[in-house]
Amino acid sequence: MKFNDYDVKLHKGGAIAWDASDAILTWLEANIKPGMKTLETGAGKTTMVFANCGASHQVITPSDSEIENIKNEAKRVGIDTSNVTFYNEFSQNILPKIAGHENLDVVLIDGGHGFPIPAVDWLYTAPMLKIGGKLLIDDVDLWTGKMLVDLMRGEPEWRLISIVRGRTAIFEKTAPFVAREWVDQPTVVRKSWIPQTTRKIVNGLAMLLTLDFKQAWKKLSHEVALSKEAKD
């Protein structure tokens, strides 16, 4: 059975616009194998694909109606959901309770899209993913998703495989997850250098206006040197 064999409205109010794209559903059908350990934040057609492919799947959604609709539709079309664990909760509340270490094959982040939820989902699920596992981030055309992709592009433990139709990023985890300080994150340093340097120059000029030239020059030189060191 393919995902287009079940075309129903699974979300509250009958919304279908929230469902993942056909391209990602096709990717899941091609890459999810029986027995794989998988997790997604959010729920919908993807949940049915994970189940139909035989994954040992965890799905997190605060919507009890979504869970009920998915179970009913799965039963109608003959998809076994006995290996699917549903968490009727917000991801930021449940992920800290179920966090494991490098035991997942695939993670799909497609729950809340308001800041900082995608980043929180990533923070907790990244350590749970196996080396070689795949992390999918949906709706990266939203700023909260794009921000995460921009950061991960510069992190050595992630390899960007593709961004499917401008909407869904697929990364491979290549090394253990590390939560770094900002000075060790190239993307944060690059995006912070101009505003930091501007602030330091403005403050230095303000000191010059007080006629404390010696102290101002010393402070300005020090701050510019620090900014240059961080950038390098």
- Quote the percentage of the chain above a pLDDT of 90: 72
Question: What's residue 210's pLDDT?
Answer: 67
Q: How confident is the model at residue 100 (pLDDT cuts 50, 70, 90)?
A: confident
Average pLDDT, integer, range 107-121: 97
- Domain covering 3-179: architecture: 3-Layer(aba) Sandwich (3.40)
Average pLDDT, integer, range 158-180: 97
Question: For residues 114 and 201, what is the distance between their CA atoms, to the nearest angstrom?
Answer: 34
Q: How confident is the model at residue 16 (pLDDT cuts 50, 70, 90)?
A: very low
- Quick check: 126 pLDDT over 90? yes
The mean of the pLDDT values for the chain is 89
- Quick check: 5 pLDDT over 70? no
- Quick check: 165 pLDDT over 90? yes
Average pLDDT, integer, range 118-134: 98
Digit-coded pLDDT (tens) for 51-86: 999 999 999 999 999 999 999 999 999 999 999 999
Digit-coded pLDDT (tens) for 33-59: 999 999 999 999 999 999 999 999 999
Question: What's residue 222's pLDDT?
Answer: 76
- Quick check: 4 pLDDT over 60? no
HEC string for the chain: CCHHHCCCCCCHHHCCCCCCCHHHHHHHHHHCCCCCEEEEECCCHHHHHHHHCCCEEEEEECCHHHHHHHHHHHHHHCCCCCCEEEEECCHHHHHHHHCCCCCEEEEEECCCCCCCHHHHHHHHHHHHEEEEEEEEECCCCCHHHHHHHHHHHCCCCEEEEEEECCCEEEEEECCCCCCCCHHHCHHHHHHHHHHHHHHHHHHHHHHHHCCCHHHHHHHHHHHHHHHHHHHC
Question: For residues 122 and 2, what is the distance between their CA atoms, to the nearest angstrom?
Answer: 29
Question: What's residue 17's pLDDT?
Answer: 45
More confident residue, 186 or 1: 186
Question: What's residue 33's pLDDT?
Answer: 98
- Quick check: 11 pLDDT over 70? no
Domain-by-domain residue ranges, the chain?
Answer: 3-179, 183-231
Question: What's residue 15's pLDDT?
Answer: 45
